[in-house]
């Protein structure tokens, strides 16, 4: 399936829109970005320039990929001639309604409008579209989208299956790993999975079982290393040895179910919040944001080089 996409409109160039812009440019697309905030163009161009070396290291910059293909417009009408829109505006439903009303009127009906929204559903967002809600969908990335491959595709009640197919072809050709949700749920899938894990960490810390630093180490030096290469269900299958998942369930389902019992009546209280913050400060000590972020990115690039080599080439 050809998508015939050459020029991409990026609406909203904050944390997520700037990172998407960097990726689209690296992959050889023309990008027309729009954001009404004062200083938005300067911040965007700086973000893209800073993101470029990491994408070069990953081999994500194709011949023809260039920062010079970025155009910035303060007025949203400046994106009227794009072939695909990635929308990254503020996460407020009434704002998205007004924005989708504008975009729906401005753009030809075959132009897909994908929202990066983490928490809103497309069924709610597309209520803003009077003409062509069928081309609107969720294309939810992970921060920063110029590095993390996952994109969750979700249709709203009025989204056409064909729009999801076209978006899937487009994102896959960009080098993204897509998954499709069969129905809408708040937070989509990956954020819900992260949410459950974080809840359990808070519960274990607040019950005095473990420190924040050791809970983090339990993830990043243990199962987290495996999760970076295979999902938990396949790993359970391997945990069953040659007997596979059936043997794993025979042996471990009993104890596993008992671990689901809550340790107490867990709530995210002020005390839990304070305990988590104090534990985190003890864990990171005097290391500042830049120091931690650069360590994360250095290690992430090494891992990504290996993982991206295994994604199918389109
Ligand atoms: N931050 C994350 O980790 C993350 C991850 C995945 C998805 N998302 C989603 O991405 C979207 C953007 O989040 P963010 O963190 O980048 O927010 P942000 O606040 O950093 O950026 C939002 C941008 O939208 C701009 N904006 C406001 N009105 C606009 C308009 N009328 N037209 C165009 N732009 C306008 C703002 O000036 C701002 O630059 C949200 O829907 C969020 O749920 C965020």
Q: Measured in angstroms, how far is the CA atom of residue 307 from the centroid of ligand 1?
A: 28
| CA atoms of 152 and 136, how far apart (whole Å) | 14
pLDDT of 312 higher than 90 = no
Residue among 9, 10, 13, 14 whose CB has most ligand 1 atoms within 8 A, to mutate: 14
pLDDT of 185 higher than 70 = yes
Domain with CATH 1.10.1040.10 in the chain: 191-308
Domain with CATH 3.40.50.720 in the chain: 7-180
Q: Please report which confidence band the pLDDT of residue 262 belongs to, taking 50, 70 and 90 as the band edges.
A: confident
Tell me which residues have their CB closer than 6 angstroms to ligand 1.
11-17, 34-37, 40, 76, 88-91, 99, 116-119, 140-141, 143
The 10s digit of each residue's pLDDT in 234-247 is 999 999 999 999 99
The 10s digit of each residue's pLDDT in 39-69 is 999 999 999 999 999 999 999 999 999 999 9
Shortest-distance atom of ligand 1 to CA 13: 39
* Averaged confidence pLDDT in the chain: 95
191-308: what CATH class? mainly alpha
CATH numeric code, 7-180: 3.40.50.720
| CA atoms of 33 and 44, how far apart (whole Å) | 9
* Three-state DSSP class for residue 26: helix
Terminal C-alpha separation, the chain? 11
Prediction pTM value: 0.95
Residue of 47, 46, 12, 9 whose CA lies nearest to 30: 9
Tell me which residue has its CA closest to atom 27 in ligand 1: 89
pLDDT of 149 higher than 90 = yes
């Amino acid at each position: 399936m050809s998508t015939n996409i050459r020029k991409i409109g990026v609406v909203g160039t904050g944390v997520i829109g700037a990172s998407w812009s960097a990726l689209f440019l690296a992959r050889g697309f023309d990008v027309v970005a729009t954001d009404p905030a004062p200083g938005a163009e300067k911040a965007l161009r700086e973000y893209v320039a800073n993101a470029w070396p990491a994408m070069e290291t990953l081999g994500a910059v194709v011949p023809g990929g260039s920062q010079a293909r970025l155009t910035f417009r303060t007025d949203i009408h400046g994106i009227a001639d794009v072939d695909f829109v990635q929308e990254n505006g503020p996460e407020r439903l009434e704002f998205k309604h007004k924005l989708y009303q504008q975009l729906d009127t401005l753009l030809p009906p075959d132009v897909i409008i994908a929202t990066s929204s983490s928490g809103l559903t497309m069924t709610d967002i597309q209520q803003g579209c009077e003409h062509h809600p069928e081309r609107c969908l969720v294309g939810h990335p992970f921060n920063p989208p110029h590095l993390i491959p996952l994109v969750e595709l979700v249709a709203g009640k009025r989204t056409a299956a064909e729009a999801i197919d076209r978006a899937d072809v487009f994102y896959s050709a960009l080098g993204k790993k897509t998954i499709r949700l069969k129905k809408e749920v708040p937070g989509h899938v990956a954020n819900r999975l992260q949410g459950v894990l974080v809840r359990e960490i808070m519960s274990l810390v607040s019950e005095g079982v473990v420190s924040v630093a050791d809970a983090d180490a339990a993830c990043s030096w243990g199962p987290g290393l495996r999760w970076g290469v295979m999902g938990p269900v396949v790993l359970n299958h391997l945990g069953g040895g040659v007997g596979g998942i059936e043997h794993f369930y025979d042996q471990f389902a009993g104890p596993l179910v008992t671990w689901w019992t809550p340790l107490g009546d867990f709530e995210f209280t002020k005390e839990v919040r304070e305990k988590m913050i104090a534990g985190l400060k003890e864990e990171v000590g005097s290391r500042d944001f830049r120091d931690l972020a650069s360590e994360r990115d250095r290690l992430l690039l090494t891992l990504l080089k290996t993982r991206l080599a295994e994604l199918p080439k389109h």
